[in-house]
Amino acid sequence: MTAQELVWRIAGGSGDGIDSTSQNFAKALLRSGLDVFTHRHYPSRIRGGHTYVEVRARPEPVRSRGDGYNFLLVLGDSFARNKREGTIYGDERVKPLTENLDELREGGVVVYDTGMLDEELVAATDLEERAEANDWHVYPVDLQAIAREHGRDVMRNTAGVGVTAALIEKDLDHFERLLEERMSGDVLEANRAVLRDAYEQAEAFEFGHDLRVPSGDHEEEQALLSGSHAIAYGALDEGCRFISGYPMTPWTEVFTLLSKHLPERGGIAEQVEDEIAAVAAAIGASHAGAKAMSGSSGGGFALMSEALGLAEITETPLVLVESMRAGPSTGMPTKPEQSDLDLVLYTSQGDSNRVVFAPSNTREAYEQTRDAFELAYEYHLPALVIYDQKLSGELRNVPVSFFDQEPSPGLPNTLTEDALDAEPTDGRFHRYRHEDEEASTGVSRRSIPGQRGGHYLASGNEHHPTGHLSEDPENRVAQVDRRAAKLDAIRERVDGGPASHQTYFGPETAEYGIVTWGSQQGTVREAVARLNEEGHSVRGVGVSDLAPFPVTEMTEFLESVESALVVEMSESAQFRGLVQRELGAYGDRLDSLLKYNGDPFEPREIAEAFRASVEDHEFDSSTTTFVPATSD
Amino acid sequence: MSVFTAIDEDRELDEEDFTPGIEPQATWCPGCGDFGVLKALKGAMVELGRDPDETLLVTGIGCSGKLSSYFESYGFHSIHGRSLPVARAAKLANPGLEVVAAGGDGDGYGIGGNHFVHTARENHDMTYVVFNNEIFGLTKGQTSPTSPKGHKSKTQPHGSAKDPIRPLSLSLTGGASYIARTAAVNPNQAQEILVEAIEHDGFSHVDFLTQCPTWNKDAKQYVPYVDIQKNEEYEFDITDRREAGEAMYEAESALYDGTVLTGRFYHDETRPSYHEEKQSVGELPEQPLAEQYFDPDREWERSLELVENHT
Ligand SMILES: Cc1ncc(C[n+]2csc(CCOP(=O)(O)OP(=O)(O)O)c2C)c(N)n1
Ligand code: SF4
């Protein structure tokens, strides 16, 4: 039987080129007409340590990492080597092989490098038994020798790709072309020779498996991008021209991308001394008329808390991104989790207003970053994009034409000098006017420092319309109400309005619901499709508007189903807490599926939990949670 | 179409132009040194012919932070210790602005110490005025980083065990290219120094001794000061880091013994400002960022051009 899909896992030590090899492999499959999706798993180490990347490919759209995988390429061991002394740290000789077997599907393929992995050591593992029990097809190949013969040791990964191509019966065209694009001269020739030799050697094997991946056909040109690329590009298209930051994984991906591209486009990128300076700088730049953004991950974002409130009360437009990883504290730097939700929603003191979007995939990351800029600059408030390590690094194909969108620079609700002339004034410009027509949307138009006739005081203390400190009770109430009115105006746009960011999937009249947010949406979507195929009646919703929260939409959804499972990567069910807090009811209809072991969900886990919830009535109280066995 | 029309150079300015006519009276205590800073700053602006519309005054939190409330210009009253990153980014976004940041010794040398060192290091073209009253004023008299060792307050009832910070030396080590100390009790010198500091292209740090009659009656800011530029005994080369460093060390040690040395300590006109450095590596646009958004004819590059790298 021809496989429905290929899920190729390449494993080895970090620093072995796993990342770049998998990217190119994914690109080659993409160019052959398939849809692709990558999932990165790596330890918090620079060299050595076990790491893998999965590339899932099939002719239909791919929305998640899938369940397990069916092709394992073990590129090396997971030692860190000191080249000069040949020193080896730790005892990880066969780890990339043994560590990865649990999720290999029945009938799967294993290729390992006998040049790197000692055959005797491999024989001492339970590989053979397990292969027999699971109908795995194991192909030991001396990739190192092939690499050495035509070039250098490091070309082992090219050899691995060559072997893979033969075993999945894809011709070498796309792989060769990618080599040509990346290299030239002797290096290209050597790699080409390695690729071909490995291909030919593997072709000569007697195949016990069938992993011919069906070929696909894209109607239009596709590009392979991660969530971080999409956020950076969305920001560029909105005219973002200032970024300030301090490195922290995984936020660094957005920060480095814009550090490269902003100066090339007449913008400014600043690596500053800490996250407090980063957010303060973005506020300063935005105040001075630049479209600005900053961001961080958990700990760094926590440091931004106070300044977030400063942006809120001074009504300075600001875009912040929070790229979640497992916490608390430094937690697990390279593993995803969704447990910074409460931090992002509620951090900073006082009654404050902010917009929060949670994109679930590359396209949404682009769109919602643009929307965050649009709202921040139209309403003069902070808009946050929260996503996680999974979305930040996963590559997915999107048609190039998707990015063919008009840029939208410009500073809405900002006065020109001529318009400022016409403003009522008694010495200073009334930046924080709360009378008359502005009350409807709450927005009071601003001037930019340097403009004639526009000076005012932007103060973090409560202030009069001119910005002067004021504790006058009437003015206080008027200012608080006006700032809150902005959120009401935005709520109308997003909650069931034209700019709703929720995604629904499954039949509208379904009996049961599954609710999720952010990066887990694609996985839930796949599980919902599967459950409906099985005969269940399920509808899913991926929520992206976190603030203002889509109360109307969610009420409608929960009223349409008997009960719903809330799926999220956190132990304390923060998202479910948000739903219940915002709706003030429906807690009795909700069950939680939580995972917090550092690995995102697989569709099968969600389907299983759903079956347990619905069929076995394992959940009947609002507080029961179900933790799949894999999340130890 | 320009966002910023050129400021009228011939306009006659006086202190009234920097005095807001509408806000409540200053809430500083009678006799507070902060009045001296306000007066000197207004005087300096008039002398320099700066216009309130081309000036951005960013303040921190504290009695000192209220400066922006009593001074007429674009103002940004930020949060405790964070005025510098706000101010320097505003300057990067619009280099045409005259940017002045101000805060207290707690604000600038305590909670904002990290930003202070790094702003000096980068040599941003702006002026930083620190109201040094050796005490936390607004929160009612706690020990500050410049309070003398042994100083007793409600939070250090047994006397501070810490040596005071050395702000001038710290600034020099950090990389500031103009460093001076003046005092509220010496309005003429204060104004002269502020004029020089604002005119200087690079990070100017002015440690401004201010008296806090309410919480810090013992402070040495009351005693007669010595202007080091007018006293032969303290002759040194203010362009020489080493000599400047020695003079600062002496001034900082002497302060707590009752000898108040004020004046210019360091002036390096050769060090390029951060703007120049950043422009030289191609990381700063020629045009202020705000100009770009108001320019309808501007061609905006699109991310679509970058997406080609991903196919
Ligand atoms: C994050 C934070 N911590 C503490 C405070 C309280 N606070 C306000 S002003 C101040 C000290 C100000 O002292 P200083 O900077 O010396 O200024 P002064 O009032 O003496 O002018 C403190 C601790 C605050 N506003 N924010
Ligand atoms: S408390 Fe001290 S610093 Fe504050 S206003 Fe009064 S005298 Fe000035």
In whole angstroms, what is the distance from residue B151 CA to residue B163 CA? 10
Q: Which atom of ligand 2 is nearest to the CA of B210?
A: 3
**Tokens representing residue A278 in the block:** 């980063």
Which of B92, B292, B306 comes nearest A261 by C-beta? B306
In whole angstroms, what is the distance from residue A292 CA to residue A380 CA? 12
In whole angstroms, what is the distance from residue A439 CA to residue A318 CA? 22
* Ligand 1 binding pocket mutation candidate from B114, B128, B138, B221 (most atoms within 8 A of CB): B138
Identify the band that residue A625 occupies on the pLDDT scale cut at 50, 70 and 90: low
Cβ A450–B285 below 8 Å, yes or no?
Answer: no
C-alpha distances out from residue B98 to A83, B48, B53, B95, B274, Å: 54, 11, 9, 8, 15
Nearest CA to A265 among B96, B309, B284, B4?
B284
- How many angstroms is it from B106 CA to the middle of ligand 1? 6
For atom 24 of ligand 1, the residue with the nearest CA is: B80
Query: What is the chain B residue with the closest CA to A26?
Result: B311
Tell me the shortest Cα–Cα distance from A362 to chain B, in angstroms: 13
Query: What tens digit of pLDDT does each residue of A527-541 get?
Result: 999 999 999 999 999
Tell me the shortest Cα–Cα distance from A65 to chain B, in angstroms: 20
pLDDT above 70 as % of chain A: 92
Beta carbons of A406 and A450 less than 8 angstroms apart: no
Which of A232, A274, A288 comes nearest B290 by C-beta? A288
Tell me the shortest Cα–Cα distance from B40 to chain A, in angstroms: 20
List the Cα angle B233/B234/B238 in 5-degree steps: 150
Beta carbons of A568 and A576 less than 8 angstroms apart: yes
User: Looking at the complex, does the CB of residue B299 fall below 8 Å from at least one CB of chain A?
Assistant: no
Identify the band that residue A618 occupies on the pLDDT scale cut at 50, 70 and 90: low
Pairing mode of beta strands B98-104, B74-77? unpaired
Cβ A236–B282 below 8 Å, yes or no?
Answer: no
- SS3 label, residue A193: helix
Digit-by-digit pLDDT tens for chain B (311 residues) are: 468 888 777 888 999 999 987 655 778 999 999 999 999 999 999 999 999 999 999 999 999 999 999 999 999 999 999 999 999 999 999 999 999 999 999 999 999 999 999 999 999 999 999 999 999 999 999 999 999 999 999 999 999 999 999 999 999 999 999 999 999 999 999 999 999 999 999 999 999 999 999 999 877 777 889 999 999 999 999 999 999 999 999 999 999 998 999 999 999 999 999 999 999 999 999 989 999 999 888 999 999 999 999 99
User: Looking at the complex, does the CB of residue B188 fall below 8 Å from at least one CB of chain A?
Assistant: no
Q: Burial letters for B102-139: b for 16+ Cβ neighbours within 10 Å, e otherwise?
A: bbbbbbbbbbbbbbbbbbbebbbbbbbbbbbbbbbbbb
Tell me the shortest Cα–Cα distance from A122 to chain B, in angstroms: 38
Q: What is the pTM of this model?
A: 0.95
- SS3 label, residue A69: strand
C-alpha distances out from residue A2 to A40, A168, A209, A213, Å: 26, 10, 9, 7
Beta carbons of A629 and A621 less than 8 angstroms apart: no
Average confidence score pLDDT of chain A: 91
In whole angstroms, what is the distance from residue A615 CA to residue A388 CA? 32
Instruction: Indicate which ligand has the atom closest to the C-alpha of B167.
Output: 1
Q: Residues of A with CB below 8 A from B284's CB?
A: 263, 268
Nearest CA to A591 among A562, A629, A620, A571?
A620
* Ligand 2 binding pocket mutation candidate from B215, B216, B222 (most atoms within 8 A of CB): B215
User: Residue A608: how many CA atoms within 13 Å on its side-chain side?
Assistant: 12
- How many angstroms is it from B104 CA to the middle of ligand 1? 8
Beta carbons of A572 and A542 less than 8 angstroms apart: no
Q: Residues of B with CB below 8 A from A182's CB?
A: none
What is chain B written as a DSSP string?
Answer: --SSPPP-TT----GGGGS-SSSPPP-SPTT-THHHHHHHHHHHHHHHT--GGGEEEEE-SSTGGGGGGSS-SEEEE--TT-HHHHHHHHHHH-TTSEEEEEEEHIIIIIITHHHHHHHHHHT-SEEEEEEE-SS-TTTTS---TTSPTT--BTTBTT---SPPP-HHHHHHHHT-SEEEEEETT-HHHHHHHHHHHHHSSSEEEEEEE---TTT-TT-GGGS-EEEGGG-GGG---TT-HHHHHHHHHHHHHHHTTT-EEEEEEEE-SSSPPHHHHHHHTT-S-SS-HHHHHT-TTPPPP-THHHHGGG-
Tell me the shortest Cα–Cα distance from B226 to chain A, in angstroms: 36
Q: Is B133 in the pocket of ligand 1 (CB under 6 A)?
A: yes
Mutation choice for A interface testing from B74, B98, B280 by most A CBs within 10 A: B74
DSSP letter, residue A34: -
Query: What is the chain A residue with the closest CA to B286?
Result: A266
Output the pLDDT for position A197: 97
Counting Cβ atoms within 10 Å, is residue A477 exposed (0-12), middle (13-18) or buried (19+)?
exposed
Cβ B53–A222 below 8 Å, yes or no?
Answer: no
Lowest-confidence segment of A5-19, A395-409, B108-122 by average pLDDT: A5-19
- The 3-state secondary structure of A160-190 reads HHHHHHHHCCCCCHHHHHHHHHHCCHHHHHH
- SS3 label, residue A426: coil
Beta carbons of A139 and A122 less than 8 angstroms apart: no
What is A225-284 written as a DSSP string?
Answer: EEHHHHHHHHHHHTT--EEEE---TTTHHHHHHHHHHHHHTT-EEEE-SSHHHHHHHHHH
Nearest CA to A23 among A392, A334, A393?
A393
- Angle, helices A275-287 vs B83-93, to 10°: value is 40
Cβ B75–A459 below 8 Å, yes or no?
Answer: yes
In whole angstroms, what is the distance from residue A369 CA to residue A236 CA? 10
Residues in Cβ contact with A253 at an 8 Å cutoff, skipping those fewer than 6 apart: A226, A228, A323, A392, A393
Query: What tens digit of pLDDT does each residue of A90-142 get?
Result: 345 677 788 888 899 999 999 999 998 888 888 888 899 999 999 999 999 99
Q: Which helix (H) or strand (E) holds A141?
A: strand A137-141
Q: Which atom of ligand 2 is nearest to the CA of B140?
A: 1
β-bridge partners, A141: A113
Tally of helices (H runs) and strands (E runs) in chain A: 22, 24
Furthest C-alpha separation in chain B = 73
Instruction: Indicate which ligand has the atom closest to the C-alpha of B103.
Output: 1
Over range A621-631, report the average pLDDT. Answer: 44
In whole angstroms, what is the distance from residue A235 CA to residue A245 CA? 15
**Cis peptide leading into B95, omega within 30 of 0?**
no
Beta carbons of B181 and B251 less than 8 angstroms apart: yes
Cβ B303–A233 below 8 Å, yes or no?
Answer: yes
β-bridge partners, A356: A384, A547
- Dihedral angle, C-alpha B146, B148, B149, B155, nearest 10 °: -70
Identify the band that residue A48 occupies on the pLDDT scale cut at 50, 70 and 90: low
Strands (E), A531-601: 538-543, 545-547, 563-568, 590-594
**Tokens representing residue A575 in the block:** 């998202």
Q: Which helix (H) or strand (E) holds A382?
A: strand A382-388
In whole angstroms, what is the distance from residue A568 CA to residue A606 CA? 10
Q: Residues of B with CB below 8 A from A283's CB?
A: 78, 86, 89
C-alpha A290, offset from chain centre: 26
Query: What is the chain B residue with the closest CA to A404?
Result: B304
Tell me the shortest Cα–Cα distance from B223 to chain A, in angstroms: 34
C-alpha distances out from residue B116 to A378, B60, B124, B167, B208, Å: 33, 12, 11, 10, 15
In whole angstroms, what is the distance from residue A15 CA to residue A346 CA? 39
Q: Is B214 in the pocket of ligand 2 (CB under 6 A)?
A: yes
β-bridge partners, A2: none
Output the pLDDT for position A1: 38
In whole angstroms, what is the distance from residue A161 CA to residue A55 CA? 12
Q: CB neighbours (10 Å) of residue B144?
A: 28
Query: What tens digit of pLDDT does each residue of A253-309 get?
Result: 999 999 999 999 999 999 999 999 999 999 999 999 999 999 999 999 999 999 999
Cβ B89–A242 below 8 Å, yes or no?
Answer: yes
Cβ A407–B301 below 8 Å, yes or no?
Answer: yes
User: Looking at the complex, does the CB of residue B85 fall below 8 Å from at least one CB of chain A?
Assistant: yes
- SS3 label, residue A441: coil
Counting Cβ atoms within 10 Å, is residue A612 exposed (0-12), middle (13-18) or buried (19+)?
middle
In whole angstroms, what is the distance from residue A80 CA to residue A49 CA? 7
Q: Which residue type occupies A503? A: T
Query: What is the chain B residue with the closest CA to A226?
Result: B310
For atom 5 of ligand 2, the residue with the nearest CA is: B28
Q: Is B259 in the pocket of ligand 1 (CB under 6 A)?
A: no
β-bridge partners, A354: none
Output the pLDDT for position A49: 64
Query: What tens digit of pLDDT does each residue of A479-524 get?
Result: 999 999 999 999 999 999 999 999 999 999 999 999 999 999 999 9
Residues 96-155 of chain B whose Cβ lies under 8 A from any Cβ of chain A? 96-97, 114-115, 117-118
Counting Cβ atoms within 10 Å, is residue A437 exposed (0-12), middle (13-18) or buried (19+)?
exposed
Q: Is B141 in the pocket of ligand 2 (CB under 6 A)?
A: no
For atom 6 of ligand 2, the residue with the nearest CA is: B29
Beta carbons of A379 and A414 less than 8 angstroms apart: no
- Reported ipTM: the value is 0.98
Nearest CA to B130 among B147, B111, B106, B149?
B106
* Ligand 2 binding pocket mutation candidate from B138, B153, B221, B222 (most atoms within 8 A of CB): B138
**Tokens representing residue B29 in the block:** 């205590």
